Structure 1
Amino acid sequence: MKIKLYCRRALMTLLFICALYTTISSISNITLADMKVWAERVQQETNHPSENSLKKSNLEQKTMNEQTYRPKTLEEAIDFDQYETATVLATGYTAGIESTGKTSEHPQYGITFSGVKVKRDLYSTIAADPDIFPIGTILFIPNYGYGVVADIGSAIKGNSIDLYYDTVDDVYSQWGKQELDVYIVEYGDGTLTEEALKALNEAEALQVFRQQYIEQ
């Protein structure tokens, strides 16, 4: 009796499977032969990945690596070793009376020798001896950023430079006085305009780093 019951259940299950396959086949137009070919391809791809699959895998890995490593500072993003270096004594200054002798009411307050306004930005205005670094010279100063020579000063002679900061507190807390090697990115021609300085600061490729200097 039990054997007949088991046989009946097996027959019903087989009939159900056949009916299910017939339904799926009629809807999707997929046959057993198609399923066999698909299964063989899956097995083959598992054991021997195709060239396209390998390329896709390598591309995905490369993308993941690029997303994982992104330079956080200009020093990491740019190879400054390609530039000439110079050892300088760098101090900090402001536009205020303590550095320039001018008050905020003075008509030339905050105006550099080149005619541009002092600025702490991706490319900041700095002062230097024009016989060493002509106006318009671009330096990269480690731990400060890019500096564009826009100003001169009676106390700035030889390999001395003055780095602009917005406040006296910034000068003392962020810089003070340091002797270090700077990178000479480009020598100036003796001139600098607001338009040229603006173009440097708005260079699209470096905008990701700009806030690091504006918000210091």
Structure 2
Amino acid sequence: MNKKKWLKRLIMAVLLVFALLSCFKTISGVDAREINAYNQSENIEKGTTSSQKKTQSLEDAYNWSKEYPHKQVVATGYTAGVESTGKTPNEPGYGITYSGVKVKRDLYSTIAADTNIFPIGTILFIPGYGYGVVADTGSAIKGNHLDLYYKTVSDVYNKWGKQTLDVYIVKMGKGKLTEKDLTHLNENKAMQVYRQQYIKSEVE
């Protein structure tokens, strides 16, 4: 077989591989980084080697500054309570965000933002906090200002306070967020190794 035919077959094979990978991403919603995280979690469960048992933190797992665009923001913390929202637990709408989902502190937590900057559903990675999903707004949240949800006032002050930092834009929202969307993010099997790290850090 001549060189031209070999070259043509090689090009076709490469194109086929790219097409299959693209199709897999479109159908499954899982990218290469998530596959890597899943493989890490599988190796940890099997206990194959000591190096595989030590999973990196989210901050160290990716080169955030190279993989995602960033924006400098001022980030504060808030709770669902009267001190932040003016609502008490027995009032209608307590703990319900502008998007309609309940406030949540998890691997993917609900945060508030100016929707002219970050539309509802935008996923940000916030160093020191984790993933934040824009679900809420606020009269004082204007411009490059975020409000990060915490369960208690003491958590707001002890774990965050007020910080100016770069956040990374993982995915821009389309103006909508549902409980199903948030559950899907937090229960994504490929990300459970990191979710367990988060849960452990919250109870320590």
Cross-structure match for 1:92: 77
Aligned match of 2:110: 125
Distance 1:191 1:66 in 2: 43
Give secondary structure in 2 for the equivalent of 1:157: coil
Query: 1:2-151 counterparts in 2 under 5 A?
Result: 67-69=50-52, 70-81=54-65, 82-151=67-136
Q: State the distance in 1 between where 2:57 and 2:138 align.
A: 31
Describe the SS at the equivalent of 2:198: helix
The alignment of Structure 1 onto Structure 2 pairs a total of residues equal to: 153
The Cα shift of 1:208 comes to: 1.2
Gaps of 5+ in 1: 1-63
AA in 2 matched with 1:151: D
1:169-208 deviations in Å (ceiling 9; x for gaps):
1000000000000000000000000000000001111111
> Which has the larger Rg?
1
Q: Which amino acid aligns with 2:110?
A: T
Contact 1:92 1:163 in 2 (8 A): yes
Deviation string 1:68-97 (CA, Å, 9 cap, x unpaired) is 153331122233221000000000000000
TM-score by length of 2: 0.72
User: SS of 1:113's equivalent?
Assistant: coil
Name 2:14's counterpart in structure 1.
none
Tell me how far apart the structure 1 counterparts of residues 129 and 49 of structure 2 sit (CA, whole Å). 27
Verify the 8 A CA contact 1:122 1:146 in the aligned structure 2.
yes
Q: Under a length normalisation based on structure 1, what TM-score does the superposition of the two structures give?
A: 0.68
Matched AA of 1:167: T
Match of 1:175 among 150, 156, 160: 160
Unaligned stretches of 5+ in structure 2?
Answer: 1-46
